[in-house]
């Protein structure tokens, strides 16, 4: 329900509006200072706004009195002098009972109440009271009283008007009186609503809020602030924030307050740490502004505080996650790049050397393929911890991605120091790793690039150079380290170009499969062919396999090459019978790389090729080196069991060149063991090599395995192997690897010599 007030002239309405605004301002000042007894603020406001205050008092009809909680007169309008005959100075400070001795209203109505007024305050009215005048006479008056607010210096407002006989009241008088009552009620309602809005905005605010003096002393706090600090109002009001500010942050608030008081800023937002009563650190964001008088002097501060402890913790966590590897906890590429930029600046200023080391784990993919990614992840974490133990405090170790790590070394005086650091990192891998029942040996290859203050290489170029050196180290074998030189970079560029050309050659059909015959030494007959890949480059000429195969093995391209070789060899072997009319069909051997042998798609791929070609599985032999087979014996046994079920044979290549284990050899039971050509054509210590050759042949015969000798080039070598009862041989003595059509001709000649058609 809305009550509309109408006034006979605009001045009254204007004064009422000014009255409401002014009373609201006075109440705000009173709230700020009331709880600490600094009433001089309120009095100062009356003095500073004397003209407006007087307008308020004089604008209302009748005599207006402002009383405190005990009914003592604090101020009044000039009309009171007319009614009472007293000067106002004689009445200020006197209890209203001096004027109205027979006032029957309970004096407790002047006192404050504990509840916030949610509706306009009630108006107490008494008619025909006797007002004791200065000359002793009595004047009949009407009394009206309304509460202003609670717990403040002036708690009530009183209106006194001269009473007239009922029959003497004209309609105009009654209208005037009604209008006066409406104005008083409206003023009281406006005051109550203003205070209510303030209390709801302050006390009910979820954000911690503080009113403080210009000296930083707390004048009022809300409940949210108490909860944030862990302290009660009594523990906070009358004190400043120093006693519970984090020691290192003391002085921040004081400096901000000085800036505001001096006029340098009207509002400031800053962060500081508080100490909760339980000792917990609270990170807070404070927004502070000041209330000023008409002269611009700071009266008090209003602060809104926000607890950002969890927000900062989350930001810190996100920042850490953004700059660190989630698995190992080491720095990631982003953080490494930032550290590298800083390191380059320091190297330039101090005229020192810096180095970037790129470490790549050897055969780590096999660990994931054989034991799964869980063991692989555990291995990476353990390696990272070992690297951290040997990392200098001035340096940075980073997980670059996958199984690669970057190391940033600073403050070096010579390239030798970088090599020593690389040596410590490699030595950290010497001790085997153990996870439950799994025991692993892990090694790495390291590429090193050193730069000085004159270097113009970018971050990317430094890492690329370290990468080129690392690949050169891998080419030299496991566990090597190589320092970058311009020649290495040129080789890396050539190697990269060759990879691109090799991929194009595979797509365009440039690659070919050639076949070297395998001879039965007792009958001189062709019993099989080894399929070997050849690359006739249109510009480079014939690219040797020992050049492009290692490059392919360093990328996933080796799997594509392996699939190509399998398809071509199986397809060719399946057609030899119809093309050559040979009745005793030779087998074909296909080499498998380490990646292929441990690839989970190997068995399904072989099954598809056999089904498409119709080749008898017994005519397919897969060659793996001794080192690949013994890399993980359990995985090798798993693969070989599947191959045996398919009737596919295994040839153990380069036998005798690795760390042969006779127990593993007996367990694997390959169909063929191939003696490396270094035993057939020894370069040194002929007697010792011949002894080893005889032992290998004898061992194969004893284990009922076919023994095949590679690299036979002379009749003497053939005669010696025949005397040792070696079963098979291959080499230039008979033929190099030839294209498939020449292999078909060779088989036709065999059939012709046998009289086969």
Domain ranges of the chain: 10-198, 209-313, 324-484, 499-754
Tokens standing for residue 201: 């905005």
Q: Where are the beta strands (DSSP E) in 193-241?
A: 209-213, 218-221
The torsion angle over the Cα atoms of residues 564, 565, 566 and 569, rounded to 10 degrees, is 120
- Alpha-carbon distances of 705 from 115, 638, 662, 674, 710, rounded to whole Å: 103, 20, 13, 10, 16
- In 3D space, the residue among 344, 338, 473, 347 whose CA is nearest the CA of residue 404 turns out to be 473
Mean pLDDT to the nearest integer, 642-671: 78
Element (H, E) at 298: strand 298-307
The DSSP letter of residue 523 is T
Q: Quick one: pLDDT at residue 152?
A: 58
Q: Quick one: pLDDT at residue 33?
A: 34
Q: Quick one: pLDDT at residue 528?
A: 94
From 311-315, 539-543, 603-607, 744-748, the region with the lowest mean pLDDT? 311-315
Q: Quick one: pLDDT at residue 355?
A: 95
Asked whether the CA dihedral 589, 595, 599, 604 is positive or negative, the reply is negative
Q: CB-based burial of residue 136 (10 Å sphere; 0-12 exposed, 13-18 middle, 19+ buried)? A: exposed
Is the pLDDT assigned to residue 82 strictly greater than 80? yes
Q: What CATH number labels 209-313?
A: 3.30.450.20
Mean pLDDT to the nearest integer, 640-654: 89
Query: Domain spanning 324-484: which CATH class is it, in words?
Result: alpha beta
Mean pLDDT to the nearest integer, 345-352: 89
| Tens digit of each residue's pLDDT (9 = 90 or more) over 471-500 | 889 878 778 899 998 888 888 788 888 889
Rounded distance between C-alpha atoms, residue 747 and residue 588, angstroms: 13
- Report the range out of 59-73, 109-123, 281-295 with the highest average pLDDT: 281-295
> Mutual orientation of helices 633-645 and 602-613 as an angle, nearest 10°?
20
Chain-wide mean pLDDT for the chain? Answer: 81
Rounded distance between C-alpha atoms, residue 72 and residue 49, angstroms: 22
The answer to whether the 10-198 and 324-484 domains have the same CATH topology is: no
Residues in the chain: 757
Q: What share of the chain is helix, strand, coil (3-state, %, to 5)?
A: 45, 25, 30
Q: Quick one: pLDDT at residue 7?
A: 35
Q: How far apart are the first and last CA of the chain?
A: 119
What's the pLDDT band for 534 if we cut at 50, 70, 90? very high
| Tens digit of each residue's pLDDT (9 = 90 or more) over 229-280 | 899 988 888 888 888 889 888 988 888 888 888 888 888 899 899 999 898 9
Is the pLDDT assigned to residue 397 strictly greater than 70? yes
Rounded distance between C-alpha atoms, residue 555 and residue 462, angstroms: 22
Number of C-beta neighbours around residue 749 at 10 A:
13
> Mutual orientation of helices 486-508 and 545-553 as an angle, nearest 10°?
90
Is the pLDDT assigned to residue 9 strictly greater than 50? no
Query: Domain spanning 499-754: which CATH class is it, in words?
Result: alpha beta
Q: The pTM is what?
A: 0.51
What's the pLDDT band for 554 if we cut at 50, 70, 90? confident
What's the pLDDT band for 22 if we cut at 50, 70, 90? very low
Is the pLDDT assigned to residue 582 strictly greater than 70? no
Is residue 572 within 8 A of residue 588, CB to CB? The reply is yes
Q: Quick one: pLDDT at residue 191?
A: 66
Percent of the chain predicted with pLDDT > 70? 80
- Alpha-carbon distances of 46 from 15, 34, 75, 227, rounded to whole Å: 17, 15, 10, 36
Place of tokens 């010497």: 430
Residue 258 CA to chain centroid, in angstroms?
39
Rounded distance between C-alpha atoms, residue 47 and residue 100, angstroms: 28
Which has more confidence, 37 or 159? 159
Q: Quick one: pLDDT at residue 24?
A: 41
Tokens standing for residue 443: 């090694």
Place of tokens 């000014």: 18
Tokens standing for residue 171: 């309609």
- In 3D space, the residue among 331, 451, 456 whose CA is nearest the CA of residue 401 turns out to be 331
The torsion angle over the Cα atoms of residues 11, 12, 16 and 19, rounded to 10 degrees, is 70
- Alpha-carbon distances of 751 from 55, 100, 580, 581, 755, rounded to whole Å: 132, 146, 7, 7, 6
Rounded distance between C-alpha atoms, residue 423 and residue 481, angstroms: 8
- In 3D space, the residue among 174, 222, 172 whose CA is nearest the CA of residue 202 turns out to be 222
* Sheet-wide strand order for 123-132: 73-76, 63-67, 156-162, 138-147, 123-132
Which has more confidence, 583 or 45? 583
| Tens digit of each residue's pLDDT (9 = 90 or more) over 173-189 | 556 556 666 666 776 67
Q: Quick one: pLDDT at residue 39?
A: 35
Q: Quick one: pLDDT at residue 178?
A: 63
> Mutual orientation of helices 333-350 and 459-476 as an angle, nearest 10°?
100
Q: Quick one: pLDDT at residue 50?
A: 59
Q: List, in order, residues 6 or more apart from 686 with CB less than 8 Å away.
A: none
Query: Domain spanning 10-198: which CATH class is it, in words?
Result: alpha beta
Rounded distance between C-alpha atoms, residue 341 and residue 194, angstroms: 60
Is residue 566 within 8 A of residue 591, CB to CB? The reply is no
| Tens digit of each residue's pLDDT (9 = 90 or more) over 677-715 | 888 888 766 777 788 888 889 988 888 899 999 999 999
* 666 phi/psi in degrees, rounded to 5: -65, -35
Q: Quick one: pLDDT at residue 30?
A: 36
């Amino acid at each position: 329900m809305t009550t509309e007030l109408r006034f006979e002239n605009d001045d009254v309405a204007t004064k009422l509006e000014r009255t409401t605004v002014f009373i609201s301002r006075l109440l705000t000042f009173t709230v700020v200072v009331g709880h600490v007894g600094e009433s001089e603020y309120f009095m100062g406001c009356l003095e500073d706004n004397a003209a407006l205050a007087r307008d308020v008092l004089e604008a209302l009809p009748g005599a207006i009195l402002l009383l405190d909680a005990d009914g003592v007169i604090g101020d009044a309008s000039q009309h009171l002098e007319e009614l009472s005959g007293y000067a106002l100075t004689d009445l200020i400070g006197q209890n209203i009972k001096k004027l109205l001795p027979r006032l029957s209203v309970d004096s407790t109505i002047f006192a404050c109440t504990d509840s916030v007024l949610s509706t306009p305050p009630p108006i107490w009215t008494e008619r025909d009271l006797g007002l004791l005048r200065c000359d002793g006479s009595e004047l009949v008056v009407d009394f009206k009283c309304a509460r202003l607010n609670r717990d403040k210096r002036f708690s009530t407002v009183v209106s006194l008007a001269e009473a007239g006989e009922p029959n003497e009241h004209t309609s105009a008088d009654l209208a005037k009186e009604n209008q006066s009552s409406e104005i008083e009620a409206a003023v009281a309602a406006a005051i109550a609503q203003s205070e209510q809005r303030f209390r709801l905005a302050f006390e009910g605010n979820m954000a911690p809020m503080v009113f403080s003096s210009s000296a930083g002393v707390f004048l009022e706090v809300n409940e949210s602030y108490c909860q944030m600090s862990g302290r009660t109002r009594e523990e906070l009001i009358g004190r400043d924030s120093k006693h519970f500010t984090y020691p290192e942050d003391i002085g921040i608030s004081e400096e901000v307050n000085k800036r505001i008081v001096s006029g340098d800023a009207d509002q400031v937002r800053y962060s500081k740490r508080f100490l909760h009563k339980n000792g917990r650190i609270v990170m807070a964001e404070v927004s502070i502004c000041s209330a000023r008088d008409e002269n611009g002097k700071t009266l008090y501060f209003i602060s809104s505080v926000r607890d950002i402890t969890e927000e900062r913790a989350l930001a810190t966590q996100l920042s850490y996650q953004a700059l660190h590897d989630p698995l190992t906890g080491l720095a990631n590429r982003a953080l490494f790049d930032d550290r590298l930029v800083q390191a380059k600046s320091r190297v330039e200023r101090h005229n020192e050397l810096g180095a970037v080391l790129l470490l790549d784990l050897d055969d780590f993919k096999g660990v994931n393929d054989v034991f799964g990614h869980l063991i692989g992840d555990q291995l990476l974490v353990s390696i990272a911890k070992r690297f951290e133990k040997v990392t200098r405090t001035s340096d940075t170790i980073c997980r670059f991605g996958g199984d690669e790590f970057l190391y940033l070394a600073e403050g070096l005086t010579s390239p030798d120091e970088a090599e020593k650091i690389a040596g410590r990192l490699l030595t950290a891998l010497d001790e085997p790793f153990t996870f439950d029942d799994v025991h692993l040996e892990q090694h790495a290859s390291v590429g090193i690039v050193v730069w000085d203050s004159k270097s113009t290489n970018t971050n990317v170029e430094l890492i690329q150079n370290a990468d080129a050196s690392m690949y050169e180290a891998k080419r030299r074998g496991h566990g090597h380290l190589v320092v970058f030189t311009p020649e290495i970079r040129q080789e890396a560029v050539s190697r990269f170009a060759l990879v691109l050309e090799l991929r194009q050659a595979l797509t365009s059909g440039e690659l070919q499969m050639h076949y070297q015959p395998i001879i039965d030494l007792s009958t001189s007959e062709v019993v099989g062919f080894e399929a070997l890949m050849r690359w006739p480059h249109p510009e480079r000429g014939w690219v040797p396999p020992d050049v492009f195969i290692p490059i392919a093995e360093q990328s996933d391209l080796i799997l594509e090459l392996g699939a190509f070789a399998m398809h071509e060899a199986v397809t060719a072997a399946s057609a030899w019978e119809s093309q050559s009319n040979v009745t005793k069909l030779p087998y074909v051997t296909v080499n498998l790389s380490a990646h292929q042998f441990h690839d989970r798609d190997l068995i399904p791929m072989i099954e598809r090729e056999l089904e498409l070609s119709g080749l008898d599985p017994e005519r397919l032999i897969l060659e793996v080196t001794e080192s690949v087979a013994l890399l993980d014996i359990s995985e090798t046994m798993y693969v070989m069991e599947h191959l045996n079920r398919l009737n596919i044979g295994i040839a153990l290549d380069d036998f005798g060149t690795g760390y042969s284990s006779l127990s593993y050899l007996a367990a694997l039971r390959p169909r063929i063991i191939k003696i490396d050509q270094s035993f057939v054509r020894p370069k040194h210590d002929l007697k010792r090599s011949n002894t080893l050759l005889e032992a290998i042949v004898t061992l194969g015969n004893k284990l009922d395995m076919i023994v095949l000798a590679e690299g036979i080039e002379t009749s003497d070598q053939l005669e010696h192997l025949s005397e040792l009862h070696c079963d098979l041989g291959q080499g230039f003595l008979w033929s190099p690897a030839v294209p498939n059509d020449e292999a078909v001709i060779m088989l036709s000649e065999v059939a012709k010599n046998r009289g086969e058609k």
